A and B are shown apart, each in its own frame.
Chain A
Amino acid sequence: MNGDDGLETRVEALLAAPAHDAAALHVALAALYARYRDLAAQIERVTRIADRYQGAERERGRSYAVRYEKQLRQIEKIMRISDRYQSMLRDLNDRLHWLSLRDVVTGLPNRRHMLGRLDDAVADAKEGGAPLALAIADVDHFKRINDGFGHDTGDKALAALGHALCGLLPDGDAARWGGEEFLLLFPAHDLAAARRRLDALRAALPGAMAPLWPDGVPTLTLSCGLTAWRGDDDALSALLSRADEALYVAKRGGRDRLVVAD
């Protein structure tokens, strides 16, 4: 089908001629009609195909939208679950951190925790000029409890002591230093005040331990070495050494006593 064969021009010329050649005009118009009919059929076909494509596109679009929605929901859910896992991990980490600083037998802060606390306490004393004292306390003849009643009973005795120290000193000021040794911190106490406090503590100990004290075990006593911070040049290691030496003197002097490092 070719629109450039002059058919339209011929029809126009025939129509414009003063005397119509009716037969020639009829033939030309019939040819023109046939051409337009073919063109219409072709346009209809193209339109039909285009509609089909559009329909498919619409379908595809709908299916993409459904998949997109589904994936979006899945991503939101994955994020929600993931966030909950993160918060579970965070809580477990907090718990681990707490456990890493606690002594499992007595429930008191452990040596690692107390070392951090001592650093802070010395720094605070340097900055604020407030006094500071500390003591190392050792359970007398603890081996006799372990050997005579078993390690389970020994642990119970230590737990009772831990419980008592917890009640008699502010939270975090008593720690299990190792074995049957405890470190007692007296922030804002000079030597005299700490001594009074420690004497009172030793006197109150049997009563405070009683609720958890294991049956049939003789009550325990403590030997203590006490010292106070001596100012800016006094290092933490020196404080601890003096307390340790005083404790040694208390032990050698017959136990169940407090020795102050002057």
Chain B
Amino acid sequence: MLTLAIPATASTPAIAADWAAGLLTMSGDSYPENSFELFQPVIDWVDAYLGDSDRPLTLSLSLLYLNTSSIRAMMDILDLLQGAHDAGRRVRVEWLYDPDNERVAELAAEFREDYSFPFDILARA
């Protein structure tokens, strides 16, 4: 049972992974100088979680800005979820955004269009 808790910095999001709850959350901006260093543990966590049991996984995102390499890493994570979904696993993404910034919702929709698992884009109350 692995727990991941990466605190936010000025250029990286807060990342928390709860194995027991099957919940991975990321919130904030993401423009690290080395996105591999930041996201590889997250990708490893998702890989391990999906490989370990058949429990559902929710990816909860409150991300505002992502630089190019973070977008790439995010796609790698979403690809893992798609693979699990194709194999019959229950996975879902919820992307929360501030209704004052509709463009975040549009960007989340750009990510969503390649995937067939449940992917909700929700305005934060």
| Interface flags, B86-125, vs A, CB<8A=1, else 0 | 0000000000000000011011001100100000000000
Interface size on A, residues (CB 8 A): 12
| Interface flags, B29-50, vs A, CB<8A=1, else 0 | 0000000000000000000000
Contacts A77-B114, A78-B68, A89-B65 given; does A84 touch B75 at CB 8 Å: no
Residues of B within 8 A of A84 (CB): 103, 106-107, 110
In angstroms, Cα B72 to Cα A90, docked, is 21
- The main secondary structure of chain B at its interface with chain A is helix
* A81 and B71 contact, CB distance less than 8 A: yes
Q: Kindly provide the distance from the CB of A24 to the nearest chain B CB, expressed in whole angstroms.
A: 74
What size tier do the contact residues of chain B reach? Answer: 10 to 19
- A85 interface residue, CB < 8 Å from B? yes
Partner of A74, one of B66, B75, B104: B75
Give the residue name and chain of the A residue nearest to B113 (CB): A77
- B67 interface residue, CB < 8 Å from A? yes
* A88 and B68 contact, CB distance less than 8 A: no
Q: How many A-B residue pairs have CB under 8 A?
A: 34
In angstroms, Cα B70 to Cα A85, docked, is 12
Residues of A within 8 A of B71 (CB): 78, 81-82, 85
* B67 and A85 contact, CB distance less than 8 A: yes
- A80 interface residue, CB < 8 Å from B? yes
In angstroms, Cα B104 to Cα A88, docked, is 9
| Interface flags, A62-103, vs B, CB<8A=1, else 0 | 000000000000100111111011001101000000000000
In angstroms, Cα B106 to Cα A80, docked, is 12
Give the residue name and chain of the A residue nearest to B79 (CB): A74
Residues of A within 8 A of B114 (CB): 77
In angstroms, Cα B66 to Cα A119, docked, is 39
Give the residue name and chain of the A residue nearest to B114 (CB): A77
Q: Kindly provide the distance from the CB of A99 to the nearest chain B CB, expressed in whole angstroms.
A: 14
Most B CB contacts (10 A, CB to CB) among A80, A82, A85, A89 go to A85
Residues of A within 8 A of B111 (CB): 81
* A88 and B107 contact, CB distance less than 8 A: yes
* B75 and A85 contact, CB distance less than 8 A: no
In angstroms, Cα B35 to Cα A82, docked, is 15
Interface residues of A in 24-81 (CB under 8 A from B): 74, 77-81
Contacts A78-B68, A80-B110, A81-B110 given; does A88 touch B75 at CB 8 Å: no
Q: Kindly provide the distance from the CB of B78 to the nearest chain A CB, expressed in whole angstroms.
A: 11
Can you report 11 residue pairs joining A to B where beta carbons are below 8 Å apart?
A74-B72, A77-B110, A77-B114, A78-B68, A78-B72, A79-B68, A81-B110, A82-B67, A84-B110, A85-B71, A88-B107
B-to-A contact residues, CB < 8 Å: 65-68, 71-72, 75, 103-104, 106-107, 110-111, 114
A-to-B contact residues, CB < 8 Å: 74, 77-82, 84-85, 88-89, 91
